[in-house]
Structure 1
Amino acid sequence: MDDENADCAYSEEDAQVSLLDLPVEIFLHICSFLKASTLVHSLSLVCKQFYLILKDDSLWKARINRMWPDASYPLLRPAKPDKLFWKLSCVAIEKQRTIWGLKECSMKKINSHGCGSTVDALLLMHDGTAYIAGARDRSLIYCNFREGWKYRVTDMGSAHNGWIWDVTTIDNTIYSCSWDQTVKSWMLTDTNFVHQKTYKMNAGALLCMSSCPEQALFATGSYLRTVFIFDSRSGDKPIKQYRPHGGAVIKLAMNSEYILSASEDKTVSVYDQRAGQIMKFITIPGEAFPMCMNMQRDCVCIGDSIAKLHVLNPKKDFELVNSYSTGHTKGITGVHLTRGNLITSSTDGSVKIWSPTDPPKLMTTLRSSFGEIARMDYQNGVLAISGSEIAVYMNRCVQ
């Protein structure tokens, strides 16, 4: 009887043991088998004790370091990371490693649009559920695949009188630039594009665009070396123009403080919008010129014509801090940096997915079905590439 009572007493006591009673070391060991998203969005919200244990940045730094022990995260250390930086970065990294870290990538084509000519302009919109594209046959294309990934294509033929080189958006207004020396603004309806305004410039072909929706500003760069800045709320004349280069302006990146322009003269210029003047020129190393740019708050990535990736630090006057070989065999046509990955595309027909670390570590390589890639964009787990076709891919895990 005593033994039976002893067994019952043990069972009752054992039933009351919980995670709260475990030593921190054992609790963290258990956590190492759980996804970062589960820890951040579920377990840390259970009680104050779990929250305090899981808020420690050193936990997340160590977890990231175990993924890439011979690399430093992030690619360029932020000057002032927010309180959630390491937590949310770890969540983003693990998600991307799930997507790209498989032997066979789990991305699948959800949309393909054959085009009559090369598509040089491509931009994902609405959290990756639509894209806008411009082609050399002068057509402007909008595709929405929001509902069940069934897509609707709106194709505006002869939107310009020359090749369309780039597109950008401010709110729901689309801006396109062309070899015909114009920028046109468009509003989408259920069935078509509605032309709103034409901005005419006598500065040669317009080759690139960028925008800053927060300030309702957009900019375009020309073959004749000029950058034009427009206020979308005012008339059809530029509010500012300047000539930063000795060659054609082929790429722009813009935020509320700076406009970066890349040129065939092998330089990138940094224009300070507040001061109204050029503050710096960066020369691309080697016999190469910059082909694409991606500007984040704490990092600028530049892809060049000999397949090298260059990193600038905006917090140190856009100092060139690193250059990397990418393994592409031709020029880089697109670069996109997020907390969880770094993506590059090339005219060699490949897209490479990297870790966002110093140095970047290759996770996987994709090959286009149509050869050369002219443009690439990535948003919310959706990857879009263009050339003689437009192809959109989405990971099965994000559906």
Structure 2
Amino acid sequence: MNFISSSNVPVCGVVDEDTHMTSMDTDPADLSSHNLTLDQLPPELLIRICDFLDVQVIYKLQHVCRVFEELLSGDTYFKSRISRQWPKIYPAIPVDNLNWQEACAEREVTHSAWTNQEAHLEHFTYNECLFAAVDTVHLMKDGQILAAGSRDRYLTILDLDKYDSMKNDSKQDMEIFSDNKVHKGWIWSMDSRDNILATGSWDTFIRLWDLEAGVVPADVFKCKTAVLDLHLEQDLIIVGGYDKNLHLIDRRSGTITKKNYHRKPVLCVAVDDQFIITGSEDKTICIYDRRADKNYKRLELDTYPLDMSYGNNQLWFGDKQGFLHLLDTSNGAFDVVEKYDVGHKGKLTGVIHNLGAVYTSSTDHTVKVLEPSRDPGVITTLNSHFDGVTGISYQNRVLASASCDVSIGIWRPRRH
């Protein structure tokens, strides 16, 4: 889009190319000495006009002239723009040094996509080489590569860029790896770092795969317990075990350190540089301080958590009863904020939050897209599955869901 100087732009009316006169309801002769340009308008009116423009256009307007730069650059405009459109508290917990331009763009693009899916999103279901319930999905490489583990013990890896909705057989073209002999138990958890995919199984093994080399084995570790959740770091694998323990596996030496803070299996794990958070079937969440090497805090719950999403001073988790919970983790507080009924009628099996939305999945067959705010309202409910949804993954505006209906759901930006 090309812009001309705001000093040459009349406030209203259409300029006739032959007469160079502006046509308005009022006689132009009466207004010839009162023509206003955009930069002469009150700031409040300019802001009101800008609210009707796409946020990407606002980025360009910032560079048109000094008036627009002063008015539209920085956090103030974008913060107020969000609050005018969505008045609930956002972010759900205050975030230091939040990039409000980025947050505004993410909210608007996300909301527009999910409220007008036909125009913005492409949805398709994959079940070509699946023969049993899918327990886990994981997106990597900016949403291009999708890995899935199913109860027939197949590890399936797809290249989503090879799918073409205009070709009936393109779903088969997506498959770059499929093997049911890589694990001897259900593949229950996955994570990745760069080109390395980690898979954890009920057979007690964690296997690492180098996708850059063609999905070849890169390493293997044995936990002596079913691997229920895992997080992959450069030199460490963090594991929630069926044996009630948190396992810390040194990738260089293979040494495994166990931490026991729970009385029942560890179902979910969330991690940052300071804390490792574990949720257990014993109806507790424990926070381990990595720097101090000790248990930092223990939270007693009414029911047990099934999945967690951690970051930006927020810990969201879903529980067995279908409720969504929010904790304030600012300055290591981990204070309970609220429990939300977002409409799920089964176990809440998956939670992912970012600047644009909170995504949840449930055994009630649905995936919900929620406002990323305090008291999150439902933006849309996805009903593409015919059985329970066991988990979700999200990356680069691509959403994937795993289901007991022997299929994977994929939603991604439409390619124009």
Q: Contact (CA 8 Å) 1:197, 1:236: kept in 2 or not? A: no
In structure 2, what is the equivalent of residue 188 of structure 1? 211
Say if 2:105 is the partner of 1:91.
Answer: yes
How far off is 1:14 after superposition?
A: 7.8
Which residue identity does 1:235 align to in structure 2? S
| Among 28, 46, 54, the residue aligned to 1:35 | 54
Q: 1:122 aligns with which of 132, 137, 148?
A: 137
Change (3 A) 1:104 1:263: same
Q: Does 1:205 align with 2:220?
A: no
Question: Which has the larger displacement, 141-150 or 156-165?
Answer: 141-150
Which residue of structure 1 lines up, in the alignment, with residue 73 of structure 2? 55
Cα drift, residue 260 of structure 1: 0.9
Instruction: Tell me the number of residue pairs that the alignment of Structure 1 and Structure 2 aligns.
Output: 380
Pair 1:245-2:267 in alignment: no
Question: RMSD of the alignment, in Å?
Answer: 2.7
- What is the aligned counterpart of 1:283 among 300, 310, 316? 300
Deviation per residue, 1:247-291 (Å, 9 max, x gap)? 00111111222111111001111111111111011122x3x2100
Using the size of structure 1 for normalisation, the TM-score is: 0.88
Choose the corresponding residue for 1:167, options 177, 182, 190. 190
- The amino acid of 1:141's aligned partner reads T
Letter in 2 for 1:334: G
Q: Retained in 2: the 8 A contact 1:211–1:254?
A: no
Report if the CA contact (8 A) 2:135-2:187 is conserved: yes
Runs of 4+ with >6 A deviation: 7-11, 13-16
Q: 2 CA distance for matches of 1:100 and 1:173? A: 31
Residues 1:340 and 2:361 aligned together: no
Q: Distance in 1 between matches of 2:351 and 2:265?
A: 20
1:90 corresponds to which letter in structure 2? C
Moved more, 136-145 or 149-158: 149-158
Q: Do residues 176 (structure 1) and 195 (structure 2) align?
A: no
Match of 1:4 in 2: none
Structure 2 regions of 5+ residues with no counterpart? 1-20, 23-27, 165-169
Any idea what the Cα deviations from partners look like across 1:107-130, whole Å, max 9, x if unmatched? 432451341122222111111111
Map of 2:278 onto structure 1 = 261
Contact 2:187 2:202 in 1 (8 A): yes
Once the two structures are superposed, the pairs formed by residues 230-379 of structure 1 within 5 Å of their partners are 230-232=249-251, 234-238=252-256, 240-284=257-301, 286=302, 288-315=303-330, 316-379=332-395
Partner of 1:162, secondary structure, is coil
> 2:198·2:232 contact (CA, 8 Å) conserved in 1?
no
Name the structure 2 match of 1:220.
Answer: 239
The amino acid of 1:21's aligned partner reads Q
Q: Does 2:416 correspond to 1:393?
A: no
Change in Cα spacing, 1:14 to 1:211, as seen in structure 2 (3 Å) is farther
CA apart distance, 1:313? 1.6
Separation of aligned partners in 1, 2:387 and 2:184: 27
- The percent identity for this pair of structures is 29
Stretches of structure 1 that go unaligned for 5 or more consecutive residues are 1-6
